[in-house]
Structure 1
Amino acid sequence: MPWFPPTERRPVRTVLTAAALTALLAATTSCAESQRDDDSGSGGSSSAGGGGTFVFAASSDPSSLDPSFASDGETFRVSRQIFEGLVGTVPGTADPAPLLAESWTTSADGLTYTFTLREGVEFSDGTPFDAEAVCANFERWYNRTGIQQSENLSYYYRSLFRGFKENGDADLQTPLYKSCTADAANQATIALNAPFAGFIAALSLPALSMQSPTAIAEHRGDEVGGTDSDPRFSEYASAHPTGTGPFLFDSWDRGQQVVLKPNPNYWGEKAKVDEVVIRTISDGTARRQALQSGDIDGYDLVAPADVAGLEADGFQIEQRKPFNILYLGINQAVPALQDIRVRQAIAHALDKEALATGTLPEGTEPATQFIPDTVVGYAEDVPTYPHDVARARQLLAEAGQPDLTLDFVYPTGVSRPYMPNPEDTFKVLSTQLAEAGITVNPVPLKWTPDYLDRVQGTPDHGLHLLGWTGDYNDPDNFVGVFFGKKSNEWGFDDPELFGALDQARGLPTQEAQVPAYQAINRQIMTKLPGVPLASPIPSLAFSAEVSGYEPSPVQDEVWNTISLQGS
């Protein structure tokens, strides 16, 4: 196992224990306090840099450098180095902790949150991070129009806040967000139209990071030639991302690499390396070979078959705690898939045990529902669909679909924590479906931008492979994001389920949420919009020179703590 000193952490991420913070968040009028030393703002070292270049291999290019228009882990890997949110996470966990907000209080009705902001923090363009900047960010998201509201661009804001000031889509609802007021330079109050128990935890999402309003305006982050232009490729999102984090953007050679430099004015623990390079290497074998040859210092999503060999060669292997779900999506916009018997037949056709042992990391367990067993609301008694080819064929015959043919869309050129090798996963599942009499038409698509745009942005798909690494420890971050409203990915409209999720996400305490989400998970697995497959265990690999890298189950890994021995 690698040596990752527990004391070499970003100071603000260690301010509260998970248990203490959970207790605070459970109160109807809550307050979270940062206990970070007053003099630690100068960071763990007296100046930025001094430690060489840390080269990390990513599995794909970022989709954008503006995280508010992204939903993918590779974009967020870069974003976490440049940007910060009001809320972060306790190191090594999915639990929320103060970050740019030192503390907050919640009104008894759960509709108003008042944040006390860390003072003396600046965006990297020299403009102040203050309450006005907080409100500018919330208003920016709330006031989006046209293509900016689409599911594949404003994925997180749309999923969490459910609507915009002027909804351009009939599927959107009354927005959760109501207003933001700057009460003082270091105090902002956010009002909601309805309670949302997961609001504080959700603010740890990179998509809700604080960005410089000045830089966005100067570099036209929301103005790229009209409402039909894609803001992911604006001047701001391509070359001028501006946050408060420990690193600054330097350059982006699309399809090749992103280069970051230390932020010399960072308010917290300053970076120990002189430079960070995030190099795009889509092929897993090529990533391993790059580490072995010394071209990179580390990479994520190590292929299960490579772990033992790398350890034997003296490389460091670290495993994240599984906090994800891999699933087979079933799009009910396809008429045949609207029949529950067909969806049940697909579920019975799949051998999850064989999939887990054949293509996923050692120790991976099959999933029974769309949340991991560590998340509140996990239900032990959901309906299950054991591998039974004969039963699958019987159900297809009863549905009048004995010779069913379906498009199966799957991604190429990418590895994800829940899906280390999509091509291998597709091959196993398509073979299992064929044994049950379901003919698969393979539709391979490049992950960025084609795959996600097809699956999330259009109804043009039958079956698809996708998954989710949880962003924070709340059931709404899984089942609420998946099934909280009508979407292109699933292609169904179920007011009963949507209503149950709306009610559950507004419950004021965790104790009230548990039975509500257990009932919802039973309901989901009865309706069977897709088939949850597994919660794989993601692995990272590093050279012997790397220290100070602390894995996070939600990938909240900020690299100012990393050192390279011998630099």
Structure 2
Amino acid sequence: MTFSRPRRRPLAAGALLSLGGIVLAGCAGGFDEPSGDAAEAATTAIVAALPTDPTSMDPVRSGALVVLSVFFHTFDQLVKITADGEMEPKLAEEWTPNDDLTQWDFALREGVTASNGEEITADDVVFSYQAILDDPTSENFAYLSSIDSVEAVDEHTVRFHLKQPFSAFPRNTSLISIVPADTYQEMGADAFAQDPVGSGPYVFENVQKGVAYDLVRNEDYWGDAPEIESISLQPVSSDESRVNGVLSGSLDVAQVGPTQVSSVESSGSAQVFSALSNGVVFLGVNSTSGVLADVRVREAIAAAIDQEAITESLLGGLAEPATAMLAPAVEGYSDEVAGTAYDPERAEELLAEAGYAGETITFDYATDGRIPLSAEVAQTIQGYLSDVGISVDMVGADQESHTLKVRNKEFTGIYLNTWAPSTVDGDLPLTDFYEASGNNNYAQDPVTAELAAAQRGVTGEEREAVFAELLDYSNTQGYFVPLYVPANNFAADPALDWAPRADGLYDFTETSFQ
């Protein structure tokens, strides 16, 4: 299967499946289903499943990815990341840096008001950012680590002073929602989270934690009015319940796993949207440990793995082989960077040159969680390594335990991991892969650290060239083995006309039913 960025994967024509007694589990609340003459209005309402329940509807304190599917509809951010990873104006009409990229000015739209009539100005932007900076427990705090201070230059201009040059800073602002400062302070954080007020294209109608977040169209929105009048976002943690919800009509759209796609396509009751994600599944390598300190052994591991077979056979074509540590949708990706070709004979030659004598390499992986079919992927990789004579000790663990080992840099061999930057920009993963404090940086190579820092001080083609140099160098050194870019897959109502985002989040502002 060949993907564009992102692409729609249509329903297979003529396929049928008897649904029998399929029902939706875990989807209470939301809007009432219309009947009779009101049925026609159903085409202006969407019920969508969230994979988990957000921690809070307070955008100062809450910023985990799942909640952004709510906040993108109900609040304004300075800029917007589009479905295909591009950046465009939102609350800010334009943004300009100073010469050394340590200062950014954002010019705001005039005449923007929150749904309660409070005008949104530079003071509200400053308040929203400063409130996060003053609260290290905020889920948004890490996104603002580059900020030294923020000020209102005038009523419609905000200036950010940064600690160092940062060319990708505007992308970070796509994750920070702006609250009306007076309303937020008058209500207090807890009350605001129960009855949030924003300036986005939708307003909150009902907040039922764990049940549903119901939104209705903001008739006073400053921008173009979306066609969809109401949205109910409902937490549904079970993969099976999400699929059943779409097939039974209780849900209009829900993310599904790769193993569920074929059954949805053959149902005749739903369509499937698949788009390459912003993430890369990869093998991390402790390049300072034992036989892995030899670059030839690391190169042999990469050459031993048939990425094409993994994506086509194991993952059913719902992924593409990765050539680098950034996905095609991510700013900084370069199609000029070549991956390591599958060549088991070359792998055996490299191992012989390195004097590898069958020493066991530990292979850590999560048995569940962030990577679908992670255990199966790990076992397949074990098979390829065994075929060329590499002995591995398989160590499976639950996702939480595996993540702790990532954060504490406890791996002694190779490990299965994934990285998907929420900003859809390469800066975040490069920091983690190649800079001194990075959780995945075992090599501690000053060359990668220098290049990772250098891309922040340049823009345009210069920045792209730095990315390409760094990603190519990483491949030649075997610091990581990029495996594949998975697709985000969604089951949906057959009539839904929608473009899924590379980051897997929802944006229904340009959505309709055919």
Distance 1:521 1:217, change over 3 A: same
The Cα shift of 1:380 comes to 3.3
- 1:54 and 2:36 equivalent? no
Equivalent residue, structure 2, for 1:209: 177
- 8 A contact 1:407–1:441 mirrored in 2: yes
Amino acid at match of 1:386: Y
Equivalent residue, structure 1, for 2:268: 313
Amino acid at match of 1:405: T
Equivalent residue, structure 2, for 1:499: 450
Could you tell me how far apart the structure 2 residues matched to 1:216 and 1:398 are?
65
Amino acid at match of 1:440: M
Equivalent residue, structure 2, for 1:437: 391
Amino acid at match of 1:439: D
- 1:516 and 2:486 equivalent? no
Distance 1:538 1:278, change over 3 A: same
The Cα shift of 1:327 comes to 1.9
Q: Encode CA deviations 1:181-237: one digit per residue, 9 max, x unaligned.
A: 212222222233433222233432x2x33244456656776xxxxxxxxxxxxx479
Distance 1:112 1:542, change over 3 A: same
Pick one of 135, 143, 146 that aligns with 1:156. 143
Distance 1:465 1:70, change over 3 A: farther
- 1:384 and 2:340 equivalent? yes
Q: TM-score, normalised by structure 2?
A: 0.76
Unaligned runs of 5+ in 1: 4-48, 162-176, 222-234
- 8 A contact 2:143–2:172 mirrored in 1: no
Alignment of 1:449-528 (within 5 A): 450=400, 454=404, 457-460=407-410, 464-471=415-422, 474-480=425-431, 482-491=433-442, 493-507=444-458, 509-528=459-478
Equivalent residue, structure 2, for 1:409: 366
Could you tell me how far apart the structure 2 residues matched to 1:357 and 1:516 are?
32
Could you tell me how far apart the structure 2 residues matched to 1:344 and 1:219 are?
58
- 1:281 and 2:231 equivalent? no
- 8 A contact 1:345–1:396 mirrored in 2: no
Could you tell me how far apart the structure 2 residues matched to 1:556 and 1:458 are?
29
- 8 A contact 2:254–2:490 mirrored in 1: yes
- 1:114 and 2:82 equivalent? no
- 1:191 and 2:197 equivalent? no
Amino acid at match of 2:265: L
Could you tell me how far apart the structure 2 residues matched to 1:240 and 1:459 are?
41
Could you tell me how far apart the structure 2 residues matched to 1:402 and 1:478 are?
31
- 1:425 and 2:385 equivalent? no
Q: Encode CA deviations 1:31-67: one digit per residue, 9 max, x unaligned.
A: xxxxxxxxxxxxxxxxxx9866522123333355456
Distance 1:279 1:523, change over 3 A: same
Equivalent residue, structure 1, for 2:69: 77
Equivalent residue, structure 2, for 1:24: none
- 1:536 and 2:486 equivalent? yes
Q: Encode CA deviations 1:115-166: one digit per residue, 9 max, x unaligned.
A: 2212232345654421112122333344444x66xxx8744334xx2xxxxx
Q: Encode CA deviations 1:469-491: one digit per residue, 9 max, x unaligned.
A: 45556543553454344123445
Q: Encode CA deviations 1:390-443: one digit per residue, 9 max, x unaligned.
A: 63994798467712334323543x6xxxx4544543443354456531011110
- 1:364 and 2:319 equivalent? yes
Distance 1:532 1:392, change over 3 A: farther
SS at match of 2:326: coil
Q: TM-score, normalised by structure 1?
A: 0.69
Amino acid at match of 2:143: Y
Amino acid at match of 1:429: I
Equivalent residue, structure 2, for 1:102: 93
Could you tell me how far apart the structure 1 residues matched to 2:402 and 2:367 are?
10
Task: State the superposition RMSD in angstroms.
Answer: 4.0
Amino acid at match of 1:519: E
Distance 1:66 1:391, change over 3 A: farther
Could you tell me how far apart the structure 2 residues matched to 1:401 and 1:482 are?
28
The Cα shift of 1:101 comes to 0.8
Could you tell me how far apart the structure 1 residues matched to 2:209 and 2:270 are?
28
Could you tell me how far apart the structure 2 residues matched to 1:156 and 1:388 are?
42
The Cα shift of 1:288 comes to 2.2
Could you tell me how far apart the structure 2 residues matched to 1:70 and 1:398 are?
52
Amino acid at match of 2:158: A
Distance 1:59 1:343, change over 3 A: farther
Pick one of 152, 171, 195 that aligns with 1:182. 152
Pick one of 192, 199, 205 that aligns with 1:244. 199
Distance 1:453 1:372, change over 3 A: closer
- 8 A contact 2:195–2:207 mirrored in 1: no
Could you tell me how far apart the structure 2 residues matched to 1:68 and 1:392 are?
55
The Cα shift of 1:499 comes to 1.9
Equivalent residue, structure 1, for 2:501: 552
- 8 A contact 2:264–2:491 mirrored in 1: no
Aligned sequence identity (%):
22
Could you tell me how far apart the structure 2 residues matched to 1:193 and 1:384 are?
37
Unaligned runs of 5+ in 2: 1-7, 11-40
Q: Encode CA deviations 1:500-544: one digit per residue, 9 max, x unaligned.
A: 21112211x312223322211122223433321112333322113
- 8 A contact 1:81–1:247 mirrored in 2: yes
Distance 1:251 1:186, change over 3 A: same
- 8 A contact 1:348–1:391 mirrored in 2: no
Pick one of 111, 124, 128 that aligns with 1:137. 128
Could you tell me how far apart the structure 1 residues matched to 2:506 and 2:66 are?
12
Amino acid at match of 2:68: F
Equivalenced residues, count: 470
- 8 A contact 1:328–1:533 mirrored in 2: yes
Distance 1:360 1:75, change over 3 A: farther
Could you tell me how far apart the structure 1 residues matched to 2:337 and 2:120 are?
48
